[in-house]
């Protein structure tokens, strides 16, 4: 694994902003996206139809992990966990990603892009299944604005917004049909999504698998810079944990 000091960039953050970015899902679900949260004390996850991601409060102790075990559902993906799970939790998979920030992106609208809504979810899911950019569920579209490009009526490229924390919005679901990769559609859509984010006063960030060299190269070319490595950890709570229904929002 790359040493964090090798990829950390200085963007003039305060300690508070760094804490938000280090724990993005908790920052979102305890803040701007609280309405999408299933929450138990110091742990929260997105509604099951919206996203697989979950987060715990900063510096979680045993009580916070006990809260996480009470969340509805079973497996969840912790993003940037601040501590390893207790020994009775099962780690199913771990993916190391890079958190990248839009530092000098040429954010411009894209004339060919069309807004995507609930009526487009079937086409969006079909494109996701062909391209596999990462988790995207039927309700994910509720998290933000999505843009797409169609050719002969077929959705061939899209990008949009997912995790939103105070002052920051994540660019996500960036994908293009195999036959059109390299044609610039992804770049155009990312610039347009960033333009929308910046228009409302937020800054843009994104997460990409550390092994996805082609995507990292594209995002660097667009003006994103690596801030830090960040883990995505698929975990399962202990089977005997008490599981009352958590409250929403």
CB atoms near residue 178 (< 10 Å): 10
Give the pLDDT confidence score for residue 161 in this predicted structure: 98
Greatest Cα pair distance, the chain, in angstroms, is: 55
The per-residue pLDDT string of the chain (249 residues; one tens digit each, 9 = 90 and over) reads: 344 444 444 455 667 889 999 999 999 999 999 999 999 999 999 999 999 999 999 999 999 999 999 999 889 999 999 899 999 999 999 999 999 999 999 999 999 999 999 999 999 999 999 999 989 999 999 999 999 999 999 999 999 999 999 999 999 999 999 999 999 999 999 999 999 999 999 999 999 999 999 999 999 999 999 999 999 999 999 987 665 555 665
Give the pLDDT confidence score for residue 249 in this predicted structure: 59
Give the pLDDT confidence score for residue 4 in this predicted structure: 41
Give the pLDDT confidence score for residue 13 in this predicted structure: 60
Give the pLDDT confidence score for residue 239 in this predicted structure: 84
Q: Which runs of E-coded beta strand occur in the chain? A: 37-40, 43-46, 53-56, 76-79, 90-102, 114-116, 146-151, 154-165, 168-176, 203-209, 224-236, 247-248
Specify the pTM. Answer: 0.90
Contact 102, 224 (CB under 8 A): yes
Give the pLDDT confidence score for residue 21 in this predicted structure: 97
Q: Output phi, psi for 13, to 5 deg.
A: -85, 150
Give the pLDDT confidence score for residue 5 in this predicted structure: 40
Cα 238 from Cα 30, distance rounded (Å) = 24
Contact 174, 156 (CB under 8 A): no
Give the pLDDT confidence score for residue 8 in this predicted structure: 46
Give the pLDDT confidence score for residue 190 in this predicted structure: 98
Give the pLDDT confidence score for residue 241 in this predicted structure: 66
């Amino acid at each position: 694994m790359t040493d964090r000091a090798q990829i950390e960039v200085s963007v003039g953050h305060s300690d508070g902003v760094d804490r938000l970015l280090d724990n993005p899902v908790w920052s979102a679900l305890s803040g701007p996206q609280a309405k999408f949260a299933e929450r138990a004390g110091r742990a929260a996850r997105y509604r099951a139809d919206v996203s697989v991601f979950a987060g715990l409060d900063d510096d979680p102790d045993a009580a916070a992990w006990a809260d996480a075990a009470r969340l509805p559902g079973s497996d969840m993906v912790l993003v940037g966990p601040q501590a390893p799970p207790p020994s009775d939790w099962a780690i199913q998979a771990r993916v190391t990603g890079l958190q990248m920030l839009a530092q000098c992106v040429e954010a411009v609208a894209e004339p060919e892009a069309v807004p995507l809504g609930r009526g487009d979810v079937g086409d969006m899911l079909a494109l996701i299944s062909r391209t596999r950019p990462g988790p995207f569920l039927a309700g994910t579209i509720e998290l933000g604005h999505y843009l797409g490009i169609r050719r002969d009526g077929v959705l061939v490229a899209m990008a949009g917004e997912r995790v939103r924390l105070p002052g920051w919005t994540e660019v996500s679901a960036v994908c293009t049909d195999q036959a059109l990769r390299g044609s610039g559609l992804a770049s155009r859509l990312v610039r347009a999504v960033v333009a929308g984010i910046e228009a409302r006063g937020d800054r843009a960030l994104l997460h990409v698998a550390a092994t996805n060299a082609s995507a990292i190269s594209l995002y660097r070319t667009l003006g994103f810079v690596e801030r830090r490595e960040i883990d995505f950890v698929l975990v399962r709570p202990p089977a005997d944990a008490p599981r009352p229904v958590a409250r929403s929002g």
